[in-house]
Amino acid sequence: MFGSITAEMILAVLPEIALLVLVAIVFIADLILAEKQRGNLAWIAAVGLAIAFLLTLLFARPDAGGEQVWGGMLRHDWLAFIFKLLFLAAALLTTLLTVGWTSIWRKGEFYVLLLTSTLGMTLMAASADLIMLFLAIETTSIPLYIMAGFMTEDDKSAESGFKYLLFGAMTTAVMLYGFSLLYGFAGTTNLYEMAAALSVAQVPGPVLVGALLLILLGFGFKVALVPLHFWAPDVYEGAPTPVTAFLSTASKAAGFAVLARVMIAAFPSILADWQTIIAIAAALSMTLGNAVALTQHNIKRLLAYSSIAHAGYALLGVAAASELGVISVVYYFLVYAVTQMAAFTIVIIVWHKVGSDEIEDYAGLSRRSPLLGVAMMLAFLSLAGVPPLGGFIAKILVFAAAVQSGLVWLAVLGVLNAIVGLYYYLIVLKVVYLSEPKDTKPVPVMRSHAAALITTIALVLVLGIVLAPWYGWAAASAAALF
Partner 1 sequence: MQIPYILSIIVFLPIVAGAVMLFIPPKNRDLIHRFALAVGLIAFLLSLVVYFSFDASGPRYQFVEKYDWLPALGISYHVGVDGITAPLVLLTGVVIFTGVIISQRIDDRPREFFSFLFILASGVFGVFTSLDLFALFFFYEIAVFPMYLLIALWGWKQTREYAAMKLTLYLFIGSVIALVGALAMYFASGLNTFDMIALEGANFSPEFQNLWFPFVFFGFAVLGGIFPFHNWSPDGHVAAPTAVSMFHAGVLMKLGAFAALRVGIMLMPIGAQTHLPWIILLTLVNVVYGALIAMVQTDFKYMIGFSSVSHMGLVTMGFATLTPQGYLGAGVQMFSHGVMTALFFAVVGMVYDQAHTREIPKLGGLVKYMPFAAVAFIIGGLTSMGMPGFSGFIAEFPIFLGLWDSQPWIAIVAAIAIVVTAAYIMRAIGRVFFGELPPELEGHMHDIQPSEKLALGVLCAFMITIGIFPNVIVPIVQSGMQTVLALLGVG
Residues that bind partner 1 in the complex, under the rule CB under 8 A: 366-367, 370-371, 374, 381, 386-388, 392, 396, 399-400, 403-404, 408, 411-412, 415-416, 418-419, 422-423, 426, 429-430, 433-434, 467-468, 471-472, 475
Of 94, 125, 398, which is closest to residue 246 (Cα–Cα)? Answer: 94
CB of 382 to partner 1, least distance (A): 12
CB of 328 to partner 1, least distance (A): 11
CB of 257 to partner 1, least distance (A): 21
Region label for 369, one of left (φ > 0), alpha (ψ between -120 and 50) or beta (otherwise): beta
d(CA 385, CA 391): 4
- Identity of the residue, 227 or 469, whose beta carbon is nearer to partner 1 in the bound complex: 469
- Identity of the residue, 272 or 434, whose beta carbon is nearer to partner 1 in the bound complex: 434
C-alpha triplet 409, 415, 417: angle, nearest 5°:
100
- Identity of the residue, 186 or 407, whose beta carbon is nearer to partner 1 in the bound complex: 407
- Identity of the residue, 284 or 415, whose beta carbon is nearer to partner 1 in the bound complex: 415
CA 150 distance to own-chain centroid: 20
- Identity of the residue, 264 or 429, whose beta carbon is nearer to partner 1 in the bound complex: 429
CB of 61 to partner 1, least distance (A): 19
- Identity of the residue, 158 or 415, whose beta carbon is nearer to partner 1 in the bound complex: 415
Q: For residue 36, give every residue at least 6 positions away whose Cβ sits within 8 Å of its Cβ, in sequence order, or none.
A: none
d(CA 336, CA 120): 21
Of 280, 164, 288, 159, which is closest to residue 222 (Cα–Cα)? Answer: 164
- Identity of the residue, 396 or 450, whose beta carbon is nearer to partner 1 in the bound complex: 396
CB of 367 to partner 1, least distance (A): 8
Q: Which residues pair with 76 in a beta bridge?
A: 67
- Residue 405: count other Cβ atoms within 10 Å of its Cβ: 20
Instruction: Give the H or E element holding residue 68.
Output: strand 67-69
CB of 413 to partner 1, least distance (A): 10
CB of 130 to partner 1, least distance (A): 33
Question: Dihedral of the CA atoms 333, 334, 336, 341 (nearest 10)?
Answer: 130
